[in-house]
Amino acid sequence: MQTKRPRFNEPLPSEITPRDIFESRRQFLQQISVATVTVAGLSDNVFAQTIAARAKLAARANPAYFAKEKPTTFEDATSYNNFYEFGMDKGDPMLYAGTLKTRPWTVRIDGEIKKPMTLDIDSLLKIAPLEERLYRLRCVEGWSMAIPWIGYSLSELIRKVEPNSNAKFIEFTTLADAKQMPGVSSRVLDWPYTEGLRIDEANHPLALLCVGMYGQTLLNQNGAPVRVVLPWKYGFKSAKSIVRIRFTETQPQTAWNRSAPEEYGFYSNVNPNVDHPRWSQGSERRIGEDGFFTKKRKTLMFNGYPEVASLYTGMDLKKFY
């Protein structure tokens, strides 16, 4: 039986580095070159992934999956992140994710399927033609971005491995290596980070197996080398740096639901009518629309992707949050 850890000594997501403080630090760092950053031993990692040349990815823009809004800047999308394996501060992933080695990299695919396999990242890139899709990403903490992701529908991979009749859910397991990921030494979560979907959710065309963004391969702080992007769900559902995809008959446990089930449900669909126990979900702050007094945006049901509503017909979305 798992014992629930006390949470009073863990920082709340809403308490981790307000954006104005983070912006001040980032502006300071931007004024100095990587070559001259030596304070606090940051020279090896500061901006290493942001500045380093990344492999370009040829991908056709798919207009059917392009949000009609201005993309978040590359700078913002790669420097303001949740990736607790590298620290709980929004700037930590950018500073420390340079330690992550993304090649060689393999993903094990097993469970209730006819064709279990282990694929390296190059093989994953060849499963289906790559597409660029501008998706909104809504964080449970109340901020959002719009990012041009690169990948293909997760259903393409699912079709390749041929799930059997017992496959009702999919579980994603991410890398948890304390040597590469300093945050794994913390007790904020039970590592490794796991997430899950019903198989019909995973087969929805919007569900993206993602290998890049902004015309290039993923940066480490954004989940390199492979992640999922589920735009109608809160951001923590979009598992990063995936090493295993397992098909199961029963609903898998997920990291945040296991840690705080009263706050983070299995479905975690963006829903302005269901508040987080500690804050409202009725509005959001778009990163890049700066200014402390900038008016927030109204949060849209399913984050503005009504085409997924049929997945939840007849469900009480306040109960199945």
pLDDT value for 172? 98
β-bridge partners, 118: 108
Q: Are 190 and 259 in contact (CB under 8 A)?
A: yes
Length of the chain counted residue by residue: 321
Query: Domain for residue 273, yes or no?
Result: yes
Written as six digits, the tokens of 8 are: 């009073």
Alpha-carbon distances of 255 from 1, 49, 188, 189, rounded to whole Å: 16, 26, 10, 7
pLDDT value for 52? 52
Query: Domain for residue 144, yes or no?
Result: yes
Asked whether the predicted pLDDT for residue 250 surpasses 80, the reply is yes
More confident residue, 115 or 24: 115
Percent of the chain with pLDDT over 90: 80
Query: Domain for residue 201, yes or no?
Result: yes
pLDDT value for 54? 77
Asked whether the predicted pLDDT for residue 88 surpasses 80, the reply is yes
CATH number at residue 261: 3.90.420.10
Q: Are 164 and 248 in contact (CB under 8 A)?
A: no
Assign residue 304 a region: left if phi > 0, alpha if psi is -120 to 50, beta otherwise?
left
Query: Domain for residue 319, yes or no?
Result: no
Lowest-pLDDT range of 35-44, 94-103, 150-159, 172-181: 35-44
pLDDT tens, 263-309?
A: 999 999 999 999 999 999 999 999 999 777 788 999 999 999 999 99
pTM to 2 decimals?
A: 0.86
- The residue segments making up the domain with residue 139 are 57-67+101-312
Q: What is the mean pLDDT of residues 39-66?
A: 67
Query: Domain for residue 35, yes or no?
Result: no
Query: Angle CA(53)–CA(56)–CA(61) in degrees, nearest 5?
Result: 140
- What is the Rg, in whole angstroms, of the alpha carbon atoms belonging to the chain? 19
pLDDT value for 8? 30
pLDDT value for 15? 42
Query: Domain for residue 185, yes or no?
Result: yes
- As for how many domains the chain has, the answer is 1
More confident residue, 6 or 180: 180
Query: Domain for residue 49, yes or no?
Result: no
pLDDT tens, 142-189?
A: 999 999 999 999 999 999 999 999 999 999 999 999 999 999 999 999
Query: Domain for residue 215, yes or no?
Result: yes
Q: Which of 162, 294, 135 is nearest to 227 (CA)?
A: 135
